[in-house]
Structure 1
Amino acid sequence: MTRERVWLITGCSAGFGRELALAALAAGDRVMATARKTERLADLVATGGDGVRTATLDVTDPASVEAAVAATLAEFGRIDVVVNNAGHGSVGAVEELTMAELRALMEVMFFGAVEVTKAVVPHLRAQGSGAIVQMSSMGGRLSMPGFGAYCAAKFALEGLSEALAAELAPFGVRVLIVEPGAFRTEFGGQRMHRSREIEAYHVSTGGTRAAVEAMDGTQPGDPAKAAAAILRVVGEENPPLRLALGRDAVTNIRAHNERLRSELDEWEELSTSTEL
């Protein structure tokens, strides 16, 4: 990868996208900052000067994706790092969610990220370098009551990205799956979809819903520090496939992995008894 990298970042109007754009600009890189409404990127333009360009990008619109990629190549001549960051949260038990709500979430959180990835991959493969940063979540490794839809989208993104990493490795293109815990990114505020409520599920999802209503602005994670960590890993010679961010993410993912290992060990005899 060149010293002065070109970034294409989705969802730059707030949260991780905005902080990644600022961090990349501060590092001397160039950025194509995108959002559905580019007027919300005025502060990035003021900060980044000639190092930043903006483009309208709606990840659910293939033509918009192709246009943003073409604009980046026209402005900067290449793309070194693409960040799939656009998205939002969702809370609701599986029965509470309508199929339309679930499909809409998957369109943004999974299919949209895949659309952007597929639009950029041919260029990265041809130049023999680059990185794809998939903004997942600790919810891409474990799920909990009320977050089934959100975690389903992140599980899907992680499964595809793990395969993608192996497919692109021979071409010098890397994939980084980022798994943040709770960060101050408006996740519990206006960027959180809330399903209808069925009273019976209060016993299992009531705590999750209450946490969502109280979390915005109180999360322990600092998005600017997360952005700095991502920039560091993107520049590493031997980066990890997955990067957990936040003490809560590390703790919860480790505990989940230990539970999986324990269950696998406990049932190993039965599991392996099915062979001919």
Structure 2
Amino acid sequence: MTPTLPRNGPKTWLVTGATRGIGAAIAQAALEAGDRVVATGRRRQALVEAFGADSDVLLSLALDVTDPGQIAAAVEAAVARFGRIDVLVNNAGYGHLGLFEEMRPEDARVQFDTNVFGLFDMTRAVLPIMRAQRSGHVFNISSIGGLVGGESGSIYCASKFAVEGFTESVAAEVRPFGIRMTIVEPGFFRTDFLDASSVRYGDTPIADYAEASAAIRAFYTARNQNQAGDPAKLGKALVTLANADNPPVRWSAGTDAIAVVEGRAASLRVELDAWRDLSASTDGDFPFREEPTFGTAWS
């Protein structure tokens, strides 16, 4: 269905993974701001319990982002109900944590199917709508684990690194059509992300890693429901960003996230300077034309 032409008034949001946690908080913040929301999740009944019955500002849909058929149906239903999609929030995902050798190859594939390929497919389905409108905003929920890797985060962080590279690249491609894309990098937020109902761990133990593996699980168990971040405040912040004239491509959420970004920036500078001469030595002795810095040629 063809979207309606741009108009003033409430925005229409499509939020994936809206049954709980950050996704639910974002959907609620958009509703409280007077916008319209298409709330999606694997279990529609959970959405009804969270937000109530469908109305002139709310549409709840069952959606598994690893199912292309459900993605197409959800996008079609959203446009049929509200005429357009102004904001897409790619939030659906989960964390598979643990030491790399203690995880199975299929663990990585399933992690990427949801966190990466599901996000790709949702974005691919919605971008034509936004291009036709010549407006739109895509929020891709990443993590501080999308900027900095660490013990226990190999496949989870890899999935979020992929989301960040994807978003930076596509943001440059769609900007001429009035579409903005923002990477959201939350720190630790008080959701059920670390609950047994959500987080997954490697389940092929190796004796050499026994002590480290136990320490990692103890760390996350202690953090569960003891995080500093407030999902409701994050949801309101995204409403602010959705209404900004020049929103950022990358935005960090929480003081812990700010500290991680600052530390990453500093460590990159230190490492670059320490090995600058060796890096520069790899240029050839033959004439060459200075090229623009990668990522700026199409900006």
Q: Is the 8 A contact 2:14 2:39 kept in 1?
A: yes
TM-score, normalising length: structure 1: 0.96
Instruction: Please state how far the C-alpha of 1:121 moved relative to its aligned partner.
Output: 0.4
For 2:251, which of 220, 227, 243 is the aligned residue?
A: 243
Instruction: Please state how far the C-alpha of 1:136 moved relative to its aligned partner.
Output: 0.4
For 1:158, which of 156, 159, 164 is the aligned residue?
A: 164
Give the match for residue 259 of structure 1.
267
1:273 aligns with 2:262: no
Deviation string, structure 1 residues 129-182 (Cα, Å, up to 9, x no partner): 000000000100001100111000000011011001000000000001100000
Give the match for residue 72 of structure 1.
78
Q: Is the 8 A contact 1:134 1:177 kept in 2?
A: yes
Q: May I ask how many residue pairs the two structures share in their alignment?
A: 276
For 2:126 and 2:225, the matched residues in 1 are separated by 34
For 1:10, which of 10, 16, 26 is the aligned residue?
A: 16
For 1:90 and 1:241, the matched residues in 2 are separated by 26
SS of the residue 1:50 aligns to: coil
1:216 aligns with 2:224: yes
For 1:225 and 1:191, the matched residues in 2 are separated by 22
For 1:194, which of 194, 201, 205 is the aligned residue?
A: 201
Larger Rg: 2
Which aligned pairs between 1:74-153 and structure 2 lie closer than 5 A? Answer: 74-153=80-159
For 1:271 and 1:112, the matched residues in 2 are separated by 37
Give the match for residue 27 of structure 2.
21
Higher helix share: 1
214-223 or 102-111: which moved more?
214-223
For 1:161 and 1:232, the matched residues in 2 are separated by 20
For 2:216 and 2:124, the matched residues in 1 are separated by 34
Q: Is the 8 A contact 1:22 1:48 kept in 2?
A: no
- Where structure 1 has 5 or more consecutive residues not aligned to the other structure, the ranges are none
Q: Which 4+ residue blocks in structure 1 deviate beyond 6 angstroms?
A: none
For 2:55 and 2:69, the matched residues in 1 are separated by 27
- Where structure 2 has 5 or more consecutive residues not aligned to the other structure, the ranges are 1-5, 285-299
TM-score, normalising length: structure 2: 0.89
Q: Is the 8 A contact 1:140 1:158 kept in 2?
A: yes
CA RMSD between the two structures: 1.4
Give the match for residue 36 of structure 1.
42
Q: Is the 8 A contact 1:186 1:216 kept in 2?
A: yes
212-221 or 201-210: which moved more?
201-210
For 1:133 and 1:108, the matched residues in 2 are separated by 16
Q: Is the 8 A contact 1:90 1:193 kept in 2?
A: yes
Give the percent of matched residue pairs that are identical in Structure 1 and Structure 2: 42
Which aligned pairs between 1:157-176 and structure 2 lie closer than 5 A? Answer: 157-176=163-182
For 1:262 and 1:206, the matched residues in 2 are separated by 33
SS of the residue 2:192 aligns to: coil
SS of the residue 2:180 aligns to: strand
Deviation string, structure 1 residues 225-248 (Cα, Å, up to 9, x no partner): 011111111111011111100111
Distance 1:224 1:53, change over 3 A: same
Q: Which amino acid aligns with 1:256?
A: R
Distance 1:48 1:242, change over 3 A: farther
Instruction: Please state how far the C-alpha of 1:92 moved relative to its aligned partner.
Output: 1.1
Q: Which amino acid aligns with 1:237?
A: D
Q: Which amino acid aligns with 2:39?
A: A
For 1:147 and 1:249, the matched residues in 2 are separated by 16
